[in-house]
Amino acid sequence: MLSVLDIFRIGIGPSSSHTVGPMRIANRFWKRLKVQGHREATHRIRMIFRGSLAFTGLGHGTPRAGELGLLGFKPETIDLDKAEAALTDLRTQQAFTRDGQTVQFDPDLDLIIDYDQPADLHPNEMEMQAFGASGDLIYARTYYSTGGGFTASHTQLCKPAKNDRVATHKGDVPYPFGSAADLLGLCDQHDLTISDIVCANEDARRPREQTNDQFDRVTDVMLAGIERGLNTTGILPGGLKVKRRASDIWAKLTTMPAANEKETLFDWLNVYAMAVNEENAAGGQVVTAPTNGAAGIIPAIIRYYCCDDAAVPDYKKIRIFLATAGGVGLLYKQRASISGAEMGCQGEVGVACSMAAAGLAAVWGASPNQIASAAEIGMEHNLGLTCDPVGGLVQIPCIERNAIGAVKAANAARLALHGTDQGKVTLDQVIETMRQTGLDMSSKYKETSQGGLAVNVIEC
């Protein structure tokens, strides 16, 4: 069973599957060469991107992320200034030195965007190859970036699927759950909240203080992303000439006489979500929640509902929020997917909306059934949402979509609190519906920029 901390990972923009995942894969391969005893003989490395990593990789900064991983940078700790300097060295020298070993890597020759060979087991495929001094291929391994920064090797994905993936790890945690029905049953049986169940499972992995520290760190990074986004102006990188808008809206909200329109709630949620996603689009630091493309929804809700007027966070409340939202995120990850390349945007913004609705309902004191209902409503009205980023950049429709997702999440939580049970549609049913819809969706609408807005909006 996965940890909720795997759902909330600190990394850099613009994409968890196309930036964070490839960076991790390149690092994994470097370690793998050592484990397999091939590292010393490695003279040259090559990386090949296929599927969605090829089609939208350039817009998502995938090649750069792969190179940074090869150079030893990690998403959680990357220093962006040092990273830029290291990339310049790599391009000039066409080689890099790591762990005392110099390896050839010419980005013009050794970084291949393969549009022809289809991806095999998952739409985000990345093959890594190592060559010896005489140019012979000595080792190759294929990996997949499976969404939200998760990665898997070809061998891992080939393992036969289990009907109940959680059942195989039952001994790991005190309250294993593989479905929302399991989770609600555990809450009922032990008279615990969803957050209690999730935290008790985390306690089996590490002391509670460490989990809390990580929740607080994640909160700080989310809120810092909002602050940077609110205070940065200019044009986003990538060539679409998209202007940052959060700072202008923020200036209006904070300098104009307090508006008494009821709709200002939308403005606040919009501005916080857009601030994060503009930072993400600019390659800044964000938290996967559950992905980078959907990174603005949960921070927007936390900033509006769990911080005071001076933006001071209520960490205790936020831990309950994150544990609950993370528990719901685990259900999507375990029963379907959080990858836009597999599910379309319903698997990113839809899941984030569902998680945020559950977290907000929890801090409002909702029962487990009401929380599940909030999560269900948050997804039900995102079903079928396609992924069609213009120019392959995580900007249009992604930035505004997070704003709309945040407003929808608050509304879903509100609606759920008016009921007492899960309603006609259960959370498990809506997750399964999302999965089936994702499978049926044409690949044109799954992070390939070959359909939708991506082909109808002229890039200029």
Site for ligand SF4 in 266-295 (CB under 6 A): 293-294
Beta strands in 100-158 (DSSP E): 101-104, 111-114, 124-131, 137-147, 150-153
Tokens 């920029």, residue?
449
What is the SS3 assignment for 370? helix
CB of 111 to ligand SF4, least distance (A): 22
Question: Is the CB of residue 70 less than 8 Å from the CB of residue 96?
Answer: yes
Q: Kindly write out the interface string for residues 428-457 of this chain, putting x where it contacts ligand SF4 by CB under 6 A and - elsewhere.
A: -------------------x----------
Query: Quick one: 23 or 398, whose CB is closer to ligand SF4?
Result: 398
Q: Counting contacts by CB under 6 A, is residue 301 touching ligand SF4?
A: no
Single residue of 7, 398, 403, 434 touching ligand SF4 by CB under 6 A: 398
Cis before 290 (ω within 30): yes
Q: Counting contacts by CB under 6 A, is residue 127 touching ligand SF4?
A: no
Q: Counting contacts by CB under 6 A, is residue 197 touching ligand SF4?
A: no
CB of 19 to ligand SF4, least distance (A): 11
Q: Kindly write out the interface string for residues 348-377 of this chain, putting x where it contacts ligand SF4 by CB under 6 A and - elsewhere.
A: xx----------------------------
Q: Which stretch binds ligand SF4 (CB under 6 A): 92-100, 146-154, 344-352, 374-382?
A: 344-352
Question: Is the CB of residue 286 less than 8 Å from the CB of residue 225?
Answer: yes
Question: Is the CB of residue 303 less than 8 Å from the CB of residue 223?
Answer: yes
Query: Quick one: 51 or 368, whose CB is closer to ligand SF4?
Result: 51
Per DSSP bridges, beta strands 150-153 and 137-147 are antiparallel
CA distance 145 to 342: 11
Query: Quick one: 178 or 340, whose CB is closer to ligand SF4?
Result: 340
- Non-local (6+) Cβ contacts of 330 within 8 A are 1, 2, 4, 7, 198
CA distance 331 to 338: 10
Among 76, 21, 63, 25, CA closest to 287: 76
Q: Counting contacts by CB under 6 A, is residue 397 touching ligand SF4?
A: yes
Single residue of 394, 409, 413, 416 touching ligand SF4 by CB under 6 A: 394
Q: Which stretch binds ligand SF4 (CB under 6 A): 21-29, 177-185, 318-326, 393-401?
A: 393-401
For binding to ligand SF4 (CB under 6 A), which residues are involved?
A: 293-294, 340, 345, 348-349, 387, 389, 394, 397-398, 401, 447
